[in-house]
Amino acid sequence: MFRVVLAHMGTVSQNGVKRLAMDGAEVVVFPAPAQLFEAAANEFFRTIYDCMKRDSVCRMAVAGGSTPKSLYTLIADRVDKGQARGIDWARVHLFFGDERCVPPDHPDSNYRMMKQTLLVHGLTAAVHRVQGELPPEEAAARYEEELREEFGDGVLKFDLIILGMGPDGHTASLFPGSAALNDHTRWVAANYVERLKSWRITLTYQVLNSASEDLFLVSGAEKAEALAQVLKGADLPAAKVKPAGKLLWYLDAAAASGIAGR
Ligand code: 6PG
């Protein structure tokens, strides 16, 4: 069994949540997935309320895949229960970290997943959909245009980017060995993923690394080996996410099983 020893001081709270500070990142290990999603929902709303207090627009990019479904459902439930008052949703702009090159009603569409989980119960944020139905290069170019319009003359700086990580250490649609890993000029890239034999649209490192906060949500034992390598700084896509702002890793115990000191 691989085990990476992270010789980093950690603290354990009374509910068993372990916090490790390491290489500029804060790694938080939750005993169970439910606690991870509660904490992620808290971070989602904290970011929005901070923007409301500053009377500014809140810009977030959110992850696709399956892990965040529980988070999005939890967020929508809190809104439905009236636990998220005082938010001007018109000033909350949600973008996607990546999208599959499929129509919005396709089972693989991240937009479709978000519509079924997050965009319910009157959560009327401004959603910026990637037009996955278009040819990949056109979809990427249009999304970049929309991003540039959104940030205008301002600095490209998302308030929060929520990311997942695959068992191969990919994040967004930045997969090992794919061309977009080396794209340091564009904000959005069309990226062919050999392993999946399919095209993806993805934010590039330039965007991920300019954020005020990047929050990784990683759950499940199948991620443990890649996660241990990523946190050790291995040459994997997720390890290259080094935001100008805060880097947070929210893990459950299963995903963190490969890191000692957890
Ligand atoms: C996607 C995601 C992708 C995802 C990881 C983890 O479109 O699939 O954005 O980067 O976060 O693949 O996926 P799971 O959460 O399904 O394990």
Please report whether residue 39 resides in a domain: yes
The span from the CA of 207 to the CA of 188, in Å, is 8
Look at 9-18, 58-67, 68-77, 94-103 and tell me which has the smallest mean pLDDT.
9-18
For residue 260, what pLDDT is reported?
66
For residue 23, what pLDDT is reported?
82
Q: Which structural domain, as residue segments, surrounds residue 155? A: 25-258
For residue 7, what pLDDT is reported?
45
Please report whether residue 173 resides in a domain: yes
pLDDT digits (tens, 9 = 90+) for 224-234: 999 999 999 99
Please report whether residue 5 resides in a domain: no
Q: What share of the chain is helix, strand, coil (3-state, %, to 5)?
A: 35, 25, 40
Mean pLDDT computed over 87-92: 95
Q: Report the nearest-CA residue for atom 11 of ligand 1.
A: 164
Q: What predicted TM-score, i.e. pTM, was given to this entire model?
A: 0.95
Ligand 1 pocket, residue 65 CB under 6 Å: yes
Ligand 1 pocket, residue 178 CB under 6 Å: no
Please report whether residue 1 resides in a domain: no
Asked whether residue 129 carries a pLDDT value surpassing 80, the answer given is yes
* Contact criterion met (CB below 8 Å) for 47 and 58: yes
For residue 11, what pLDDT is reported?
73
The band of 120, judged by pLDDT with boundaries at 50, 70 and 90, is confident
Mean pLDDT computed over 216-241: 97
Give the chain's domain count.
1
Please report whether residue 9 resides in a domain: no
pLDDT digits (tens, 9 = 90+) for 154-179: 889 999 999 999 999 999 999 999 99
Ligand 1 pocket, residue 110 CB under 6 Å: yes
Question: What does the block give as tokens for 66?
Answer: 């399956």
The span from the CA of 260 to the CA of 256, in Å, is 8
Mean pLDDT computed over 111-137: 94
Asked whether residue 8 carries a pLDDT value surpassing 70, the answer given is no
Secondary structure of residue 174 in the 3-state scheme: strand
pLDDT above 70 coverage of the chain, percent? 95
Residues 6+ apart with CB under 8 A from 48: 58, 87, 92
The span from the CA of 204 to the CA of 247, in Å, is 16
The span from the CA of 250 to the CA of 262, in Å, is 12
For residue 232, what pLDDT is reported?
93
The band of 21, judged by pLDDT with boundaries at 50, 70 and 90, is confident
Asked whether residue 9 carries a pLDDT value surpassing 60, the answer given is no
Please report whether residue 104 resides in a domain: yes
Query: What average pLDDT does the chain have?
Result: 93
pLDDT digits (tens, 9 = 90+) for 185-208: 999 999 999 999 999 999 999 999
DSSP codes, 219-260: -SGGGHHHHHHHHTT-SSGGGG---SSEEEEEEETTGGGGEE
Please report whether residue 18 resides in a domain: no
Mutate to test the pocket of ligand 1, among 111, 170, 198, 204 (most ligand atoms within 8 A of CB): 170
Residue among 155, 127, 140 at smallest CA distance from 212? 155
Please report whether residue 8 resides in a domain: no
Quote the crossing angle between the two packed helices 110-117 and 67-80, to the nearest 10°: 30
Look at 10-19, 93-102, 199-208, 236-245 and tell me which has the smallest mean pLDDT.
10-19
Ligand 1 pocket, residue 63 CB under 6 Å: yes
In the sheet that holds 160-163, the strands lie side by side as 10-12, 18-22, 25-30, 246-252, 213-218, 160-163, 58-62, 92-96, 126-127
CATH number, domain containing residue 91:
3.40.50.1360
